[in-house]
Structure 1
């Protein structure tokens, strides 16, 4: 039976880590990373029964989680998956939808084998994303890592996933949950709202767009009648039915095409989401995206948590916890990520 950990504050968080009993697997990745096998997690007796369906993906009572997946960030993804399962009351009801770059079929094979070996009971599918086509729509940003075409896959999930998947939780790869994802997935979106996420209305929203954007009345008018607030696209609950009905992929893509003609923003895949959705989302409690733990986009300096409880820790920004831990220059909060790290080390016991 899986254990559920309630939302917690940083003061108590350091004292309740679970240890992960694991076994070494033998697959060798191109990056020479090897990962351990995670323990199996079981549903609690109160979990809803999964209804039978010829396509298991379409069975009712599933919690659908979408993530991108590539070799570069695989270590972070593996930790994120483990954290989701470990803190879920009904882990057997979760199905993961992973999106990988179609231009790297060999990497997709490695990713599939790695997931099977480390999470042999995991319910998941991998979808190839036409990253080559999207690459032509991307303009350079303030950090090269933000220009990876796979970062833009979140805009195309409605096209990639089966039509029977109507609601998903999208997660970045540089985060861990310390609460039950079913709570986040249950966020009510209403009949006409496409997206829910923690929003931050005190942030300097104008900084996400260039002076050329704000000085052009026809462009800046896009926010007329809206109270635009910043939200981080690394944690979102999305109604895919409404997304498809409103063709929101095309709406985002139109802004990306304009960006190629005249520079209206600087920061990767985030601004097009803000242009389409800011001021039009269901706000979620900030506990579900304690973001910015990776510092800024230039130096990745250490940062503290926002005030309040914690359900999800997110190392958005340049600094990633695994890189800082490997360099023996960790930030204090990187210790909260470390227990979910499945990377095999020379000191791990062989099965």
Structure 2
């Protein structure tokens, strides 16, 4: 005769012992690459983000980033790195900034791309433009040889990527007219208005 409590105990024991195997199975899937099997990245065009009624008018009210330059001090300047390895994260970060700000037309993104990225900076620029057609941005090239000989081997391979150190050279990379900029890592997601920063 089998007791009902013993069945529960045996089932609990089997689930507990098999949990590490399930986790191992989850982690054994091949890593997802940013580039799809057909050679595309698969981003859909984002909606047009428009300013709220209380936003200050910049650039004579041209809207949609038309005529916006990287030297416009009335804009909020945001800097981020852009590379093929973390592309999905960077695009999600840009979207989160645009979605949660009250004045998206008053933002200017400074995107720093690596000189020797597997996907050329030109292709990355086209990808950002096709995904966010109303976004005001400029892509800068970071010369990786600037820091290549300064990086020692690390436990975390991400720290060995030269683009990881581009934030330290923003003063040299960005246009000299940019006085203030907010740097965001590509793995950050904003849930509040960037104007509060």
TM range (shorter): 0.7 to 0.9
User: Structure 1 length as normaliser, TM-score?
Assistant: 0.42
Instruction: Determine helix, strand or coil for the equivalent of 2:135.
Output: coil
Q: Which runs of 4+ in 1 moved over 4 A?
A: 27-32
Q: 1:137 aligns with which of 132, 150, 170?
A: 150
Instruction: Determine helix, strand or coil for the equivalent of 2:177.
Output: coil
State the shift of 1:33 in Å. Answer: 2.3
Instruction: Determine helix, strand or coil for the equivalent of 1:67.
Output: strand
In structure 2, relative to structure 1, the CA distance for the partners of 1:125 and 1:28 (3 Å cut) is farther
State the shift of 1:165 in Å. Answer: 0.8
CA RMSD of aligned residues (A): 2.1
Instruction: Determine helix, strand or coil for the equivalent of 1:116.
Output: helix
Pairing 1:77–2:85 present: no
Instruction: Determine helix, strand or coil for the equivalent of 2:165.
Output: helix
Pairing 1:168–2:181 present: yes
1:36 maps to: 44
Consecutive unaligned residues of structure 1, counting only runs of 5 or more, are 1-26, 185-351
Between the two proteins, the alignment pairs up a number of residues equal to 157
Aligned counterparts, 1:53-92, within 5 A: 56-92=69-105
Instruction: Determine helix, strand or coil for the equivalent of 2:181.
Output: strand
State the shift of 1:51 in Å. Answer: 4.0
Q: Which has the higher helix share?
A: 2
Larger Rg: 2
State the shift of 1:55 in Å. Answer: 6.9
Aligned counterparts, 1:66-215, within 5 A: 66-104=79-117, 106-184=119-197
Please tell me whether the aligned partners of residues 68 and 136 of structure 2 are also in contact (alpha carbons under 8 angstroms).
Answer: no
Cα distance in 2 for partners of 1:62, 1:91 equals 10
In structure 2, relative to structure 1, the CA distance for the partners of 1:145 and 1:30 (3 Å cut) is farther
Please tell me whether the aligned partners of residues 112 and 126 of structure 1 are also in contact (alpha carbons under 8 angstroms).
Answer: yes
Instruction: Determine helix, strand or coil for the equivalent of 1:167.
Output: coil
Consecutive unaligned residues of structure 2, counting only runs of 5 or more, are 1-34, 61-66
